[in-house]
Amino acid sequence: MRILLKLEIDCDPDAAWRAVHSPRAVAELYGPLLQLEPLVPSGMPTAWEPGDDVPVSLSALGVLPMGRQLIHMSERFVDEPAGRVRIFRDSGIPLTGPLSSLDVWDHQMAISPVPGHPDRTLWRDRLVIGGASAPLLWPVLWSTWQWRAARIRALAPTWAHDPAAA
């Protein structure tokens, strides 16, 4: 089963690419609905790098445990006629909690310039889930992804290193 988002956001592709690599920026996307906490003594990395395996715990509103998840990061690049597409992939897996009943968790975010507007980003987000519980979990995850889309739109302007003057 799939959940897809396609958004034009108000930041340049470099800023969006930095944001998908930032555990802090990603945590802000889900906040305050969900909170991510590292499960390793060294804490969260400053930026995710290809090959990283980061176990995290999830809680709803910071109080209701939602389980643990392993984030496994990789990236790839595709050259298209409209420009380069950078793809960040989390192919980790839920370890405990309601989502651990899923057999498949594949989350990819594709970042590219909006054609004709290199200062704006085309953000494509795809989550593929599988397993016997996927049909039951899909509506909850779809709703979460709609929240996520609203947060991406709201936060994207803050991702630039040099925000435009008012």
Q: How far apart are CA 98 and CA 110, in angstroms?
A: 27
| Cβ atoms < 10 Å from Cβ of 99 | 21
Q: Which of 109, 111, 133, 132 is nearest to 122 (CA)?
A: 111
Share of the chain above pLDDT 90, in %: 76
Identify the CATH assignment for 2-159 out of 3.60.70.12, 3.40.50.150, 1.10.10.10, 3.30.530.20.
3.30.530.20
Q: How far apart are CA 166 and CA 43, in angstroms?
A: 36
Q: How far apart are CA 130 and CA 114, in angstroms?
A: 31
Residue range 19-68, pLDDT digits in tens? 999 998 988 988 888 898 999 888 888 999 999 999 999 998 888 999 99
39 phi, psi to nearest 5 deg: -105, 10
Residue 104 has pLDDT above 60, yes or no: yes
Q: Are 70 and 91 in contact (CB under 8 A)?
A: no
